[in-house]
Amino acid sequence: MDKKKILKQYMEMLLTDKEALNSVLSFCKKIKLDEKEFYNHFNSLNDLDKAVWEHIFGEVESSLSKEENYVNGSAREKVLFFYYTLVEMLKSYRSYILFKRGDERLIKAAKDTADLKKFKEKFEEWMKAIVEEGIEKEEIADRPRLTDQYFRVFWIHFLFILEFWIKDDSRGFEKTDAAIEKSVNLAFELIGKGPLDSAIDFAKFIFQNQSK
């Protein structure tokens, strides 16, 4: 049994037969898996929730790599593509995510993200690359001390989108799509070059020339 199938069985068991998750042994017996094979993929049952989110990120990443519009898109477009693809993927995991949230183990605050740990690592790595690309293409303003923190801000933004989607009761999660579009556009307006940057550049110019 491969890793993906074990995760699928775990999520189903969590929702339908939680007693089978009292130990690795009981879980393996329930899904007819050799315990040794389980440990080839995971160290404990606690690893499974982290692995679910890591798998979700992998699915999104794989899907985006095949999308020409994503590959050739701007930094803003890539972030939009990521979120739209993510929320589409999350539909298959909604019952699991709602259960975990009800169990108060998914999102308590931005600093409490045990289940999202591996997802967070991959997300931040991906976001750093997006920011670098955006700066290179002059979509994002390179601001001392601020630029290096953008990936952290976008992690908070991700948690906002996830929580919004969890609470969204609109048909087809239309409100989430709107929240993604509006919040991503706002974010890129704030981190893009604007009047503030022009003012700073002008102030630097004046200071440098007055000091000569």
Amino acid identity at 10: Y
Residues making up the chain, counted from first to last:
212
Token duo for residue 21:
């998750």
Yes or no: say if 10 and 48 are a contact pair by the CB < 8 Å rule.
Answer: yes
Cα–Cα distance for residue pair 49/118, rounded to 1 Å:
10
Q: How confident is the model at residue 202 (pLDDT cuts 50, 70, 90)?
A: low
Yes or no: say if 25 and 35 are a contact pair by the CB < 8 Å rule.
Answer: yes
pLDDT for 10-49, tens place per residue? 999 999 988 889 999 999 999 999 999 999 999 999 899 9
Q: How confident is the model at residue 8 (pLDDT cuts 50, 70, 90)?
A: very high
Q: What is the pLDDT of residue 67?
A: 93
pLDDT for 133-182, tens place per residue? 999 998 998 887 888 899 999 999 999 999 899 999 999 999 999 999 99
167: nearest Cα among 87, 113, 53: 87
Q: What is the pLDDT of residue 111?
A: 44
Q: Residue 207 in 3-state DSSP?
A: helix
Yes or no: say if 138 and 194 are a contact pair by the CB < 8 Å rule.
Answer: no
The answer to whether residue 4 scores a pLDDT higher than 60 is yes
Which of these ranges, 33-37, 92-96, 195-199, has the smallest mean pLDDT?
A: 195-199
Q: What is the pLDDT of residue 110?
A: 41
Q: How confident is the model at residue 81 (pLDDT cuts 50, 70, 90)?
A: very high
The answer to whether residue 132 scores a pLDDT higher than 70 is yes
Separation of first and last alpha carbons in the chain:
73
Q: Which residue has the tokens 């999308």?
A: 67
Q: Residue 109: beta bridge partners? A: 112
What value does the mean pLDDT take over residues 52-71? 95
